[in-house]
Amino acid sequence: MKNTTNTTALALIAMTAFAETAPLRVALTFDDSLKDHLLIAAPMLEERGWRGTFCIVTDWVGKDSKHLTWDDVRELVRRGHEIATHTKSHRNLVSLLDEGMEEEVRREIAESADKILAETGFAPRFMFSPFTRQNETTDRICRELGLRQAAGVRYNFGSNNCDRVARKVAELRGAGAVRADILTHGVSAADNGGWCPFADRESFRKHLDAIAELERKGELIVTDYDGMMSDCRLLAREWPRHGVLSLSFDDANFDQWEAAFPLFAKYDARTTFFVIGTNRIDFMKKALAAGHEIGLHGLRHRDATPTVEETGEDWFWNADIAPQINALRAAGIPVRSYAYPNCRRTDRTDALFFSRGFARVRGLGTPFPPNPNPHDPKGEKLDKWRPVATAEGYFLPAADFLKARLVPNVIMGENYHTDIEDIMNALKRAGERGEALFIVSHGISRDAKGISMKTEWLERMLSSSAELGILVRGIR
């Protein structure tokens, strides 16, 4: 009993120490469908490489000049922002339930979500309840409708506390919090107003500048709402004994990927699918609904580094990235990460993606060492093969996984002479040391050859991760 008590106390100390040093995951949310959210907030977020979550009251869209139109909401989607439902008419859902009107609550949520999908092509993932009035019944209704209820605690900033975001972040981190929903209603009283608005655009800009400075110092990371909620699962576990398996798949193996959905669901695992081209929007929406992420792998899978060197950044972007990102966002597929074809990248290409709103890129080259298992279909480079479990540079402290914008990858497949026992040893290391390991493959099938992953390998990795307490997620 004495040893158990000491172990528990040490675990709590470790968790508290980690919470005080780990960056707070922050989502920037905007309620009530105000016109200024597009005219003022969105451009200021984009200047900083951020995307917001805009919570739409559908009956208020097009209501008057102070509110967004559906064209405005579609523009927010096109530019990569998250759209969520804030119900149909902004009624108090708990009060309706108290009056025995559960079906009315269901209509408030369902009709709003359906309207957003019909008007924009974007399927909202979250419901933000008016006045943050929600309970287990509203949560159940959301789940039955294929939505997730947003967290009940939100921190509104406006005219009464516009200069206090740094103080709030310090307070939350000191209390061991791992996430924060930084909420805004009115962006500028000098323009269109809204509830509890900032005095003017400059006041709102200073608010964002304060958040950006905290991010620069490593005290917080701005992410989308789904990223904020998902990362909390990582932070809520015991530290430092927890590890991360960051798993992703490249190219256009849509049918094989979809066939593996039940396997991912069995082990509560999430991944990122880096897609080539713009077809199979149906698959992408299914993947998002299952909790996975869609990332870009280029319209034509052009090698970024030589293309940028030969043709310049603008040509590469306009030829291979913009058409793909615009098509996906127009279909309601949010994208914020990119995997380099053939893993080839430079600081110059990284800067290009980061400057245009991408949260994370995956590739190799300095500062990462040579791949521990080089592409070698003919078996001519076996002398260069190294065990993944001892390949320094391919493991990061799990805490750094939350803030790294550039991540490496170890590729699995017969052409890389993958030894599944070596991969198991690498996972064991990640779990024991509290590290993140980044693994990528292409297709998934029982008899996979070349650069793809065998289904047996995938199940062993997911099962072992579950046993070791390792969280399996994608790049986001």
DSSP 280-303: -HHHHHHHHHTT-EEEE--SS---
Quick: pLDDT tens for 444-474.
999 999 999 999 999 999 999 988 888 888 8
Domain contains 13: no
Q: For 162-195, how does the pLDDT look when each residue is reduced to its tens digit (9 = 90+)?
A: 678 999 999 998 888 888 999 999 999 998 888 9
Kindly tell me if the per-residue pLDDT of 410 is higher than 90: yes
The answer to whether residues 247 and 274 touch, using CB atoms and an 8 Å cutoff, is: no
165 located within any domain: yes
Compute CA distances 336 → 51, 261, 329, 444, 475, whole Å: 9, 22, 10, 24, 10
CATH number of the structural domain spanning residue 83: 3.20.20.370
What's the pLDDT at 440? 96
Report residue 304's pLDDT band, with 50, 70 and 90 as the boundaries. Answer: very high
- Show which of 207, 232, 257 is a domain's final residue: 232
Please state the domain count of the chain: 2
Residue range 106-147, pLDDT digits in tens:
999 999 999 998 888 777 889 999 999 999 999 999 988 888
| % of the chain residues with pLDDT over 90 | 58
CB 445 within 8 A of CB 452: yes
Within 13 Å of residue 277, how many CA atoms lie on the same side as its CB? 8
| pLDDT grade for 90, boundaries at 50, 70 and 90 | very high
Mean per-residue pLDDT over the chain, rounded: 87
Q: Are residues 169 and 277 in the same domain?
A: no
Assessment of whether the complete model's pTM goes beyond 0.75: no
Please, what is the end-to-end C-alpha distance for the chain in angstroms? 41
Give residue for tokens 């996906």.
328
Give me the residues paired with residue 321 across strands: none
Q: Does the pLDDT value for residue 404 go beyond 80?
A: no
Q: Within this chain, do residues 464 and 350 fall inside the same structural domain, yes or no?
A: yes
- Inform me whether the pLDDT recorded for 367 exceeds 90: no
User: pLDDT at position 141, please?
Assistant: 94
CA 291 to chain centre: 10
212/319 same-domain check:
no
Q: Given 194, 217, 232, which residue is the final one in a domain?
A: 232
Q: Which domain holds residue 189?
A: 18-232
